[in-house]
């Protein structure tokens, strides 16, 4: 494909269109909070445990609780089996997810405690970190953890010279191999509309980056509606095929 001529997406979506979404809350009854968030072929599950006393004691903070996030992809989440256990990628995504969620979580009323968030990806088709963050935010809300506002996450970017929203696996892998794609995971807060996380993999101009952030804000409004509806209807689910 000639440079700048990316005019048709493989799955038929418009350039600013999100894959079909669905969300559920309360999927793990034994957990303090739990949720799932699906988008296209990507499925994310998040479970919250706590607040509970943090051990060992020397790690405790007498002024506030701490948030810990663990992200992992199940071995058969992709066609090529993933080696079980932590990897550099999973550790990096765990940490950036923790940063994004910590921007809205308030554990000042729970000194010396920890809230653990476990994110698992049973099926992956690009956008796993943002799907995991969306699920984790819902699980924290379901657990009753104090939050100043919700957060929603989406992957935006560029293929050749065309700006796109919610890259799928084909777009991310097929064009990234030739340095033709730029992937930008973005997290937006629900009320203040601040950027809680932004990562950049690829090359993009400043004007294009600014437009991508605006595209992310629009997309996150749609995701927030799915999250909110799921939280309102704990025993049901909410689907958005638009």
Task: With respect to residue 139, please indicate whether it lies within any of the assigned structural domains.
Answer: yes
Task: With respect to residue 5, please indicate whether it lies within any of the assigned structural domains.
Answer: no
Return d(Cα 133, Cα 154) in angstroms, integer: 9
pLDDT, tens digit (0-9, with 9 covering 90-100), for 57-99: 888 888 889 999 999 987 555 555 556 666 788 899 999 999 9
Range of the domain at 82: 21-231
Residues 155, 127 contacting (CB under 8 angstroms) = yes
CATH number at residue 205: 3.30.230.70
HSE-up (13 A, CA, CB side) for residue 197: 28
Return d(Cα 18, Cα 131) in angstroms, integer: 12
Task: With respect to residue 15, please indicate whether it lies within any of the assigned structural domains.
Answer: no
Report the number of distinct structural domains present in the chain.
1
Task: With respect to residue 16, please indicate whether it lies within any of the assigned structural domains.
Answer: no
pTM beyond 0.85: yes
Task: With respect to residue 1, please indicate whether it lies within any of the assigned structural domains.
Answer: no
pLDDT, tens digit (0-9, with 9 covering 90-100), for 41-55: 999 999 999 999 988
User: Got the DSSP string for 13-74?
Assistant: --TTPPPPEEEEE---TTSSEEEEEEETTEEEEEEEEEEEE-SSGGG--TT--EEEEEEEE-
Residue partners of 134: CB distance under 8 A and separation at least 6:
23, 37, 44, 152, 153, 223, 227
Task: With respect to residue 150, please indicate whether it lies within any of the assigned structural domains.
Answer: yes
Task: With respect to residue 9, please indicate whether it lies within any of the assigned structural domains.
Answer: no
Q: Would you call 176 helix, strand, or coil by DSSP?
A: helix
Task: With respect to residue 197, please indicate whether it lies within any of the assigned structural domains.
Answer: yes
The residue ranking higher by pLDDT, 231 or 168, is: 231
pLDDT, tens digit (0-9, with 9 covering 90-100), for 114-160: 999 999 999 998 889 999 999 999 999 999 999 999 999 999 999 88
Return d(Cα 113, Cα 87) in angstroms, integer: 27
pLDDT, tens digit (0-9, with 9 covering 90-100), for 177-189: 445 678 899 999 9
For residue 134 the two structure tokens come to 């969306």
User: Pairing mode, if any, of strands 113-123 and 66-73?
Assistant: parallel
């Amino acid at each position: 494909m000639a440079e700048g001529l990316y005019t048709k997406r493989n799955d038929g979506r418009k350039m600013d269109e999100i894959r079909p979404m669905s969300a559920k809350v309360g999927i793990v009854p034994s957990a303090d909070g739990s949720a799932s968030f699906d988008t296209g072929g990507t499925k994310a599950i998040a479970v919250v445990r706590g607040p509970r006393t943090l051990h060992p004691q020397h790690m405790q903070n007498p002024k506030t609780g701490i948030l810990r996030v663990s992200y992992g992809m199940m071995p058969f989440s992709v066609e090529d089996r993933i080696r079980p256990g932590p990897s550099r990628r999973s550790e990096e995504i765990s940490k950036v997810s923790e940063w994004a969620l910590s921007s809205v979580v308030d554990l000042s009323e729970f000194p010396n405690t920890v809230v653990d968030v476990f994110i698992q990806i049973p099926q992956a088709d690009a956008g796993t970190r943002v799907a995991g963050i969306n699920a984790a935010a819902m699980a924290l809300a379901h657990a009753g953890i104090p939050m100043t506002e919700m957060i929603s996450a989406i992957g935006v970017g560029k293929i050749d010279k065309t700006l796109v929203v919610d890259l799928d696996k084909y777009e991310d892998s097929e064009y990234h191999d030739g340095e033709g794609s730029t992937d930008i995971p973005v997290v937006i807060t629900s009320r203040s509309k601040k950027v809680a996380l932004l990562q950049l993999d690829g090359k993009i101009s400043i004007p294009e980056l600014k437009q991508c952030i605006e595209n992310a804000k629009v997309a996150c409004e749609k995701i927030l509606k799915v999250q909110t509806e799921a939280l309102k209807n704990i025993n049901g689910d909410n689907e958005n095929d638009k």
